[in-house]
């Protein structure tokens, strides 16, 4: 049997501070009604001053390692587009703080598709024998790059982290990652961007003020591409692993907008109830979105071992990606359930 990467642990973390739609409406020209009806989001969690992406990643990573019953991996891959610093990568610090000093550790940048890209990267390194066990984390403190005056982005994005542990195993085991589809379209890089802060701006000179230092998104075009690419990519991975849409139990898609999730389900001929939904409680958490949704669905008892699961993401780049697996028996830490209770707290 071919050597494959197998999911054996799952953890998540969101910072405790909750920002409700009502509290956003106190400082911006928006309303709970607009945000709920246009996006499905009720609240999001945001970091307090001084808290960085690595802090979220360490918490989620620690929980994933405990879930897997191990404190040993030989690879850490962190998906993020809000690293603690432009240089170096954040993953080595996360590894060190988890007691994993010395292991291979690097960041993957694919914005909201980052977790799927990171998962594929780690699975590939396990498949070719470079690693036996990997910690794959998706973490973003996206609130730190939002324009405080931009009602559209502040309504959508939240902070958080999710993580899985992969181990070497075989393709016939539950949890084995059976197939991936990854893609990009750099022609539309400007639809989701932070224009300043990189080599383009630095080499051109001028002050940061002359460049936009905040995240910008062209919502309508992004919406259209998100539906198209997640639908196509999911269909591709299903074809690759030989599953028909009606054999899928759960679609765990990037949590950007409930209207996008429903449109993707409709395109694929899935029941809308088969799409995991937690964006109402956490908003769009970028690279954390998919593992956080996986975690919340598992903690709620919705994911049953043996079920057929497809992950699909879409984000800046543009980038997209999907993965298929049968759900494994994963033990979650009690803290996860406390966390979920917190997430479901009514605003
Ligand atoms: O994570 C990466 C992938 N990201 C996504 O997939 C996000 C995809 N895009 C979306 O989810 C939606 O396009 C948004 C939620 C961002 C925006 O929803 P929309 O239905 O596309 O609204 P719109 O941009 O067409 O704006 C409609 C109106 C505008 O006002 P006018 O020009 O009609 O007067 C906006 O200024 O809604 C206004 N608006 C708001 N009003 C109240 C935009 N944001 C808000 C807001 N509160 N927060």
| 21 part of the active site | no
**What is the model's pLDDT at position 291?**
98
Residue of the CA atom closest to atom 17 of ligand 1: 219
In this structure, the number of other CB atoms found within 10 A of the CB of residue 91 comes to 28
Per CATH, the number for 3-170 is 3.40.47.10
Do domains 3-170 and 177-326 share one topology? The answer is: yes
Catalytic residue among 8, 45, 225, 254: 254
Cis peptide before 318 (omega within 30 of 0): yes
Give the number of the atom of ligand 1 that is nearest the alpha carbon of residue 284.
Answer: 1
User: One digit per residue, pLDDT tens: the chain, 347 residues?
Assistant: 689 999 999 999 999 999 999 999 999 999 999 999 999 999 999 999 999 999 999 999 999 999 999 999 999 999 999 999 999 999 999 999 999 989 999 999 999 999 999 999 999 999 999 999 999 999 999 999 999 999 999 999 999 999 999 999 999 999 999 999 999 999 999 999 999 999 998 898 877 777 789 999 999 999 999 999 999 999 999 999 999 999 999 999 999 999 999 999 999 999 999 999 999 999 999 999 999 999 999 999 999 999 999 999 999 999 999 999 999 999 997 644 334 433 333 33
Beta bridge partners of 184: 319
| pTM of the model as a whole | 0.95
3-state SS assignment for residue 56: helix
Rounded to whole angstroms, how far apart are CA atoms 207 and 214?
Answer: 14
Residue of the CA atom closest to atom 42 of ligand 1: 30
Rounded to whole angstroms, how far apart are CA atoms 43 and 251?
Answer: 22
**What is the model's pLDDT at position 2?**
85
**What is the model's pLDDT at position 208?**
74
**What is the model's pLDDT at position 338?**
39
Rounded to whole angstroms, how far apart are CA atoms 61 and 54?
Answer: 10
| 336 part of the active site | no
Question: Tokens representing 71?
Answer: 């404190």
Asked whether 346 lines ligand 1 (CB < 6 A), one says no
Assign 3-class secondary structure to 292-317.
HHHHHHHHCCCCCCCCEEEEEEEECC
Place of tokens 């945000």: 35
Confirm if 137 and 61 have CB atoms less than 8 A apart.
yes
**What is the model's pLDDT at position 309?**
98
Confirm if 42 and 280 have CB atoms less than 8 A apart.
yes
- Considering only CA atoms, which of 182, 252, 263, 185 is closest in space to residue 227? 263
**What is the model's pLDDT at position 334?**
63
Report the residue among 28, 30, 38, 138 best suited for mutation to probe ligand 1: largest number of ligand atoms under 8 A from its CB: 38
Cα–ligand 1 centroid distance for 281 (angstroms) = 19
Question: Tokens representing 46?
Answer: 């945001």
| 45 part of the active site | no
Asked whether 219 lines ligand 1 (CB < 6 A), one says yes
Q: Which residues contact 326 (CB under 8 A, 6 or more apart)?
A: 174, 175, 176, 178, 305, 306, 307, 308, 309
CATH 3.40.50.2300 describes domain 177-326:
no
Run of H or E including 117: helix 114-127
DSSP letters, 183-234, are EE-GGGGGGEE--SSSHHHHHH-S-GGGS--S-EE-HHHHHHHHHHHHHHHH
> Exposed e or buried b for every residue in 30-61, given b needs 16+ CB within 10 A?
bebeebeebbbbbbbbbbeeebbbbbbbbbbb
Bin 144: left if φ > 0, else alpha if -120 < ψ < 50, else beta: alpha
The full set of domain ranges for the chain reads 3-170, 177-326
Q: Which residues contact 198 (CB under 8 A, 6 or more apart)?
A: 86
């Amino acid at each position: 049997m071919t050597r494959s990467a197998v999911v054996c642990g799952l953890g998540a973390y969101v910072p405790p501070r909750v920002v409700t739609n009502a509290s956003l409406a106190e400082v911006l020209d928006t309303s709970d009604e607009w945000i709920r009806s246009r996006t499905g989001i009720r609240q999001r969690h945001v970091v307090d001053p001084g808290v960085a992406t690595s802090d979220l990643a360490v918490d989620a990573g620690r929980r994933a390692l405990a879930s897997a019953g191990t404190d040993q991996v030989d690879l850490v891959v962190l998906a993020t587009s809000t690293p603690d610093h432009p240089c170096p990568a954040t993953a080595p610090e996360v590894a060190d703080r988890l007691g994993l000093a010395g292991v291979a550790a690097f960041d993957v940048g694919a914005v909201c598709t980052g977790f799927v890209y990171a998962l594929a990267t780690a699975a590939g390194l396990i498949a070719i024998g470079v690693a036996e066990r990997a910690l794959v984390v998706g973490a973003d403190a996206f609130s730190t790059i939002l324009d405080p005056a931009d009602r559209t982005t502040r309504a959508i994005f939240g902070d958080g982290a999710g993580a899985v542990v992969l181990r070497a195993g075989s393709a016939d085991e539950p949890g084995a990652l059976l197939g991936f589809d990854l893609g990009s379209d750099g022609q539309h890089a400007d639809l989701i961007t932070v224009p300043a802060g990189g080599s383009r701006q630095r080499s051109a000179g001028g002050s940061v003020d002359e460049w936009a230092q905040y995240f910008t998104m062209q919502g309508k075009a992004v919406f259209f591409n998100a539906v198209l690419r997640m639908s196509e990519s999911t269909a591709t991975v299903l074809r690759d692993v030989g599953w028909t849409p009606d054999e899928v139990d759960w679609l765990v898609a990037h949590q950007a907008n409930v209207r996008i999730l429903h449109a993707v389900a409709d395109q694929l001929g899935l029941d809308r109830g088969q799409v995991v939904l937690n964006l109402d409680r956490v908003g769009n958490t970028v690279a954390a979105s998919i593992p956080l949704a996986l975690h919340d669905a598992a903690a709620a008892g919705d994911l049953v071992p043996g079920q057929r699961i497809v992950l699909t993401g879409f984000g800046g780049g543009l980038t997209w990606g999907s993965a298929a697996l049968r759900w494994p028996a994963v033990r979650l830490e009690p803290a996860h359930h406390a966390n979920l209770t917190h997430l479901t707290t009514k605003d």
